[in-house]
């Protein structure tokens, strides 16, 4: 069918208000189109976005200009053995025994501390009082950094995420990101040198000491990974937490099921990652011309891969615009691995290294919040509103509940 209208503009106010309606139009009529304002191609179908994540012809060279100016060079820009070694150096900290034995208590403690501040109030904003603070507090604690600096790290990660998603090239956003790069380096590099000399039982010490075949990360590489961890680990878990609760609060029967059977928390998160993923788009750059639905992407072009559009593709999921934690076309057992049906963590060699950490954080947080607020409900009259383009989640979730002393 020939297009009957113009392709949606990903920088327009209409798109920002409701990208899901635009995603339907894109998948149906504009599966591949050129977006002149960003100088990029846009893809939206599940099969195309999945290929962009799995096929080695699609590189991450776009991060040379998109991330390196604010983070420094990180492993997500790397390929081949260089990438494999760096990933192997950091991955053990985010899975298995180290996650379960060393960092699970840190996650549980940070959730409890935030909940204790509001459990007696009878009302709370699950976004402002919890979701935006919890993941960054956990990362700071895991790294063994000063907890008094939580607000500072929160400001830094907010500026980094804004830089990453600055599609409109706002000069103030760009300048704030570059200031954050310098401030974070001035803070972290002396701490990294001290931790190399006097290692402790924390994530930063593990990163400093990790080696494979004699290869260690340099001080600059450790700093760059920590910068990436604050942005990727903080922002995505923040948005995922807010979205899990928004989706459950708007579907009371499913919330009741999760409250009765906590094993369903994983299903609720998996469906949230499909239905309202925290990251709506990721960029890639093909090393050669690639044919996709709707045409050919030339070598060296930037491609906006619309994860949130692909996750609602009618060709892949039944009733894709319906939130259903019991759906049978989304395997929750593989939802946090590189074999996931949804695309929220990407796929292939650049699958999110922190997926299991995020899953653990959300499971702990949801469980503890339901324990502390078993009768929580949205404040009457409040309609949750999502914000963001690259990353997206509810801006507020005011709830009422029976206060507990």
* pLDDT (tens digit per residue) in 247-278: 999 999 999 999 999 999 999 999 999 999 99
Question: Tell me, what's the pLDDT at 234?
Answer: 84
Write out the chain's pLDDT in tens, 405 residues.
Answer: 454 578 999 999 999 999 999 999 999 999 999 999 999 999 999 999 999 999 999 999 988 887 788 888 888 887 888 878 888 888 887 888 888 888 999 999 999 999 999 999 999 999 999 999 999 999 999 999 998 888 888 888 888 888 887 877 889 998 998 999 999 999 999 999 999 999 998 999 999 998 888 888 899 999 999 988 888 888 889 999 999 999 999 999 999 999 999 999 999 999 999 999 999 999 999 999 999 999 999 999 999 999 999 999 999 999 999 999 999 999 988 989 888 999 999 888 888 888 899 999 999 999 999 999 999 999 999 999 999 988 999 999 999 999 986
- With vertex at residue 364, the alpha carbon angle to CA 360 and CA 367, rounded to the nearest 5 degrees, is 140
Backbone angles phi, psi at 298, to 5 degrees: -75, 155
Question: Tell me, what's the pLDDT at 96?
Answer: 81
Looking at the chain, how many residues does it have? 405
Cβ-contact 130, 369 below 8 angstroms = yes
Q: How far apart are CA 276 and CA 366, in angstroms?
A: 17
Nearest to 185 by CA among 101, 268, 71: 71
Backbone angles phi, psi at 163, to 5 degrees: -60, -45
Q: Which residues contact 249 (CB under 8 A, 6 or more apart)?
A: 255, 376, 377, 378, 384, 397, 399
DSSP secondary structure of 181-239: HHHHHHHHHHHHHHHHHS--SSHHHHHHH--BTTB---HHHHHHHHHHIIIIIIHHHHH
Question: Tell me, what's the pLDDT at 1?
Answer: 45
Nearest to 270 by CA among 333, 353, 320: 333
Question: Tell me, what's the pLDDT at 122?
Answer: 95
H helices then E strands: how many in the chain? Answer: 18, 12
Cβ-contact 49, 55 below 8 angstroms = no
Question: Tell me, what's the pLDDT at 168?
Answer: 79
Six-digit token pair at 380? Answer: 């009457």
Nearest to 188 by CA among 232, 233, 218: 218
Six-digit token pair at 193? Answer: 């040198």
Nearest to 184 by CA among 218, 213, 219: 219
Instruction: Convert 172-191 to b/e letters by CB count within 10 Å (16 or more is b).
Output: eeeebbeebbeebbebbeeb
User: Three-class SS of residue 57?
Assistant: coil
How, if at all, do strands 295-297 and 290-292 pair?
antiparallel
Question: Tell me, what's the pLDDT at 4?
Answer: 58
Q: Which residues contact 357 (CB under 8 A, 6 or more apart)?
A: 94, 95, 99, 103, 233
* pLDDT (tens digit per residue) in 171-215: 999 899 899 999 999 999 999 999 999 999 899 999 999 888 888
């Amino acid at each position: 069918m020939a297009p009957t209208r113009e392709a949606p503009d990903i920088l327009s106010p209409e798109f920002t208000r409701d990208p899901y309606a635009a995603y339907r139009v894109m998948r149906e009529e504009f599966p591949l189109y050129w977006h002149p304002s960003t100088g990029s191609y846009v893809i939206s179908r599940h099969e195309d976005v999945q290929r962009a994540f799995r096929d080695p012809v699609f590189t991450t060279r776009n991060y040379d200009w998109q991330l390196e100016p604010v983070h420094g060079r990180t492993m997500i820009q790397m390929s081949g053995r260089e990438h494999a070694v760096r990933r192997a150096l950091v991955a053990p900290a985010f899975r298995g025994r180290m996650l379960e034995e060393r960092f699970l208590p840190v996650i549980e403690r940070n959730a409890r501390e935030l909940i204790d501040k509001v459990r007696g109030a009878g009302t709370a904003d699950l976004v402002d009082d919890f979701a935006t603070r919890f993941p960054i507090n956990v990362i700071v604690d895991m790294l063994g950094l000063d907890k008094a600096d939580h607000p500072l790290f929160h400001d830094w990660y907010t500026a980094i995420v804004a830089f990453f998603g600055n599609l409109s090239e706002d000069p103030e956003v760009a300048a704030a990101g570059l200031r954050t790069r310098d401030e974070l380096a001035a803070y972290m590099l002396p701490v990294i040198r001290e931790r190399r000399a006097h290692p402790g039982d924390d994530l930063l010490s593990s990163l400093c000491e990790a080696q494979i075949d004699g290869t260690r990360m340099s001080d600059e590489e450790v700093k760059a990974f920590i910068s990436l961890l604050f942005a990727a680990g903080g922002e995505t878990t923040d948005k995922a937490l807010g979205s899990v609760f928004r989706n459950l609060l708007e579907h009371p029967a499913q919330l009741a099921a999760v409250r009765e059977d906590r094993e369903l928390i994983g299903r609720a998160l998996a469906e949230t990652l499909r239905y309202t993923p925290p990251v709506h788009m990721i960029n890639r750059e093909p090393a050669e011309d690639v044919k996709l639905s709707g045409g050919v992407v030339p070598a060296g072009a930037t491609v906006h891969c619309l994860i949130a559009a692909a996750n609602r593709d009618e060709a892949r999921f039944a009733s894709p615009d319906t939130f259903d934690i019991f759906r049978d076309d989304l395997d929750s057992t593989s939802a946090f691995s590189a074999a996931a049906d949804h695309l929220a963590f990407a796929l292939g060699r650049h699958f999110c290294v922190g997926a299991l950490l995020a899953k653990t954080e959300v499971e702990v947080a949801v469980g503890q919040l339901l324990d502390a607020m078993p009768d929580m409900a949205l404040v009457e009259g409040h309609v949750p509103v999502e914000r963001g383009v690259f990353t997206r989640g509810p801006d507020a979730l005011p709830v009422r509940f029976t206060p507990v002393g």
